[in-house]
Amino acid sequence: MGTIQRNKEVSRLERRELTFDILKGFAILEVISHHTLGLAARRYVEEGSFGWWLILLLNRTLHFAVPTFLLVSALLLARSLAKKDQLDWAYFLKRRFWRTGYPYLVWTAIYLALRGGVPEIGLGATLVWGKGHYHLYFLAVLLEVSLLFPLIFLAIRRWRPSLPLTLAVAAGVQVGVYVSNYYLRYLPYPGSSALFYLFPVILGVWLGVHWEDWRPVWVRYRYRLVQWGTAAFGLYMIAEVCLLVRVPVGEFPYFWLFRIGPAALLLYATAAGLLLIRVSEDVAEHSRMRAVLAQIGDRSLGLFLIHPLFLYLIQGPKVTAFLNRLPIPALWAIALVFLLSWIAVEATQRAGLSRWLYGREFLPLGAYSRRVATVRGMRRRRSTLPARPGTPRFHPTAASVTTRSPLPLPPQPSSRK
């Protein structure tokens, strides 16, 4: 690696925080597992069997990636802008377009070409609602969040509401969107609109503006977070099981259960996202897997965009028959989709196509390992250096304490005569 390229790598690594790259690694693994388990329930097990129920329950459990990604995106944007006095919103929106809008348009064109045409709703609606393929709606939602972000950020930065007040306002706004859309039907595809994810977005902006308070907030509210997240998860799973057993949706009491199902999912996913932030912090500090997870997180956008191609390819009869002969075929399918997606992303990176396909270049393989090794070496050298008095690591010892004789010393003879 040349000196200039290595300097660029070091500069990019210094601007990134290992915690959030690790979190993105967890999240993209969750996305690939979630989508592959949905395929496995149709291909590798018999409907109604124990394996079918197990796979679908895992599939529903791993359904928190979109709110988590939105929360983290809002957090990182708010944290970077909170340090600035002068805000250039034109530059902000331009950068958001090239980071999100450009790859969204490129891959919408790719998937529309593969499917052989535009959906019946038309090209305009396809782009607005992310219907080029089933996973591209996330990028459409992320673009909408970029448009709403300045308003949310300026309001929180100016009024500085407390966390309980922010949560109350976010919950009220979210419930207002749910109720108004139920009666007015102004969102034809609610899950493809940023308005249905305002709760984690508002919370993410608050955390970004008050990032220095994250640890005290976690310590103070972690048990409530687990309680509310567990309760929301229970309601959400009850609603999903009722759907799987085909209960009458419009009859009481299922009607109200299905009405609160999206809100329960959003609350559970937000709690899972906050928990992942804390877990990622611990992994960044202590786990030997931190460099691997961070490298996966660095390529998360490419893996997200390309993995449905390999999900489609492994549905062929030969691959399906081969996987069915293996123990736990669903697990092998997840590993196969991830491996093929990783190889494809790495191949496009080495061919110099990543900027054209994903709107960015990824860090070279091994960059995070070198960073972790460098940090570990610096800590090791720092721990071996003698501590200076007045520093937190300084502990007086026999060698560091000034000793005084209990008896007065005799006067020294003068050198002058």
Query: What pLDDT score was predicted for residue 395?
Result: 47
More confidently predicted of 253 and 263: 263
Q: How many helices (H) and strands (E) does the chain have?
A: 18, 0
d(CA 268, CA 229): 5
Answer whether residue 6 shows pLDDT above 70. no
pLDDT digits (tens, 9 = 90+) for 98-111: 999 999 999 999 99
Confidence of residue 252 (pLDDT cuts 50, 70, 90): confident
Query: What pLDDT score was predicted for residue 377?
Result: 56
Q: Looking at 76-85, 154-163, 340-349, 383-392, which range is the least confident one?
A: 383-392
Q: Looking at 32-36, 60-64, 245-249, which range is the least confident one?
A: 245-249
Task: For 180-240, give the DSSP string.
Answer: HHHHH---SSGGGSGGGGHHHHHHHHHHHHTGGGHHHHHHHHHHHHHHHHHHHHHHHHHHH
Average pLDDT over residues 23-33: 96
Query: E strands along 126-235, which residues?
Result: none
Average pLDDT over residues 37-46: 93
Average pLDDT over residues 335-345: 97
d(CA 323, CA 69): 31
Query: What pLDDT score was predicted for residue 167?
Result: 96
- Extract the tokens encoding 376: 């570990």
206 exposure class (CB count in 10 Å sphere: 0-12, 13-18, 19+): buried
Task: For 247-277, give the DSSP string.
Answer: --TTSTTHHHHHHHHHHHHHHHHHHHHHHHH
Classify 324 in phi/psi space as left (phi over 0), alpha (psi -120 to 50) or beta.
Answer: alpha
d(CA 49, CA 351): 45
CB 142 within 8 A of CB 93: no
CB 37 within 8 A of CB 62: yes
pLDDT digits (tens, 9 = 90+) for 171-223: 999 999 999 999 999 999 999 999 999 999 999 999 999 999 999 999 999 99
Answer whether residue 15 shows pLDDT above 60. no
Answer whether residue 287 shows pLDDT above 50. yes
CB 143 within 8 A of CB 70: no
d(CA 137, CA 248): 29
The full set of domain ranges for the chain reads 17-62+288-380, 66-280
- Extract the tokens encoding 355: 């900027």
Confidence of residue 373 (pLDDT cuts 50, 70, 90): low
d(CA 305, CA 358): 8
Classify 246 in phi/psi space as left (phi over 0), alpha (psi -120 to 50) or beta.
Answer: left
Answer whether residue 294 shows pLDDT above 60. yes
Instruction: Return the DSSP state at 133.
Output: S
CB 39 within 8 A of CB 333: yes
Average pLDDT over residues 144-156: 96
Average pLDDT over residues 374-387: 56
